[in-house]
Chains A and B, each alone.
Chain A
Amino acid sequence: MDEAALAAKIGKLVTDLTVSEARQWLGKYNRLMKERKEQRPPGTRRTHAPLPEEVDAFELNYLNARIENGETVMFKLFDGATLTGKIMGFSPFAINVRQADGTEVMIQKLALAYYMVQQEETA
């Protein structure tokens, strides 16, 4: 629910609520959330769709191995552009990379086509 929809629902802008009114509405919506949770079928605990990392850990292990080995990784983006650098960290949706010049960049996984360890150039 966005701010406008919420304002329509409670009759005024959130910023115009008094402390007492805000408490009242928070209490009401907390009760509603609790009721909805209790409507979940028995034995089910999940509140969101499983992420890939919760099912298999292949990519997770691949990323961790690159960090552990301190390897330089080449990232190929959707538009054909490439980025190279060392992986500093990652989440299910993005990878943080430090490039050779020290700048850090966060690559959204949806912008990625593939990535791999960069091969060292031989003389």
Chain B
Amino acid sequence: MSLGDHLRYLRAMKGGPSLDDVAEAIGWEKLGDISQAEKRYRPVYDNDLIEKLAGYYGRPADEFHWHNARPRKFLTFAAAQAMKTKEPLSLTLRSGEVLTGTIEWWDLGSLGLRLADGRLLCVQRHAVVDWPDAINWEDL
């Protein structure tokens, strides 16, 4: 789960305040920055913004940095590599459940994961929080 997915989750759990509300509450002038933080597939590089958002949601900044280090773009790299090598990939979900299988497809929203027993799961990207070597990628 990228920081963007985490932010969308927390905003929903908070009752769905608008991005304008969030920007106003943290005193952030550029609404676009808040919007992009939720949408980006790459990490957010503004630590001040990350920390202010963490404060707004009442979460530790470390938690936000942890998610920010595992952006969707890097999950794409892991999925693409696993699909190429046909090696199983383990995906840790927000619930703590770990799913292991081979990647049959990936797109912007989901991953096709074939389990060892042959079942094909459609795993939503926003539910995946971690995977092996998740942070060992360089941004392009």
Contacts and interface: CB of A to CB of B under 8 A. Distances in A.
Contact of B122 (A49, A59, A79, A119): A59
A113 B108 contact: no
A112 B127 CA distance: 7
B39 interface: yes
Contact of A78 (B94, B99, B112): B94
Interface stretch (A8-16, A23-31, A32-40, A50-58): A50-58
Contact of A115 (B12, B95, B105, B122): B122
B122 A116 contact: yes
Interface string A54-70: 01101100110000000
A110 B126 contact: yes
B110 interface: yes
Contacts of A119: 119
Contacts of A114: 93, 99, 113, 121-124, 127
Contacts of B119: 116-117, 119
A56 B27 CA distance: 38
Interface residues of B, number: 25
A109 interface: yes
B93 A55 contact: no
B76 to A, nearest CB: 12
A42 interface: no
Contacts of B15: none
Given A110-B12, A116-B120, A56 B127 contact: no
B121 A52 contact: no
B58 interface: no
Contacts of B73: none
A43 interface: no
A52 B125 CA distance: 11
B8 A110 contact: yes
B130 to A, nearest CB: 14
A62 B108 contact: no
- Counting from the closest, the 6 A-B pairs by CB-CB distance are A52-B109, A56-B107, A113-B127, A52-B108, A58-B105, A114-B123
Interface of B: 8-9, 12, 39, 93-95, 97, 99, 105-110, 112-113, 119-124, 126-127
Given A49-B39, A56-B108, A62-B120, 8 more contacts: A52-B109, A58-B106, A58-B110, A59-B107, A78-B127, A113-B94, A113-B95, A114-B124
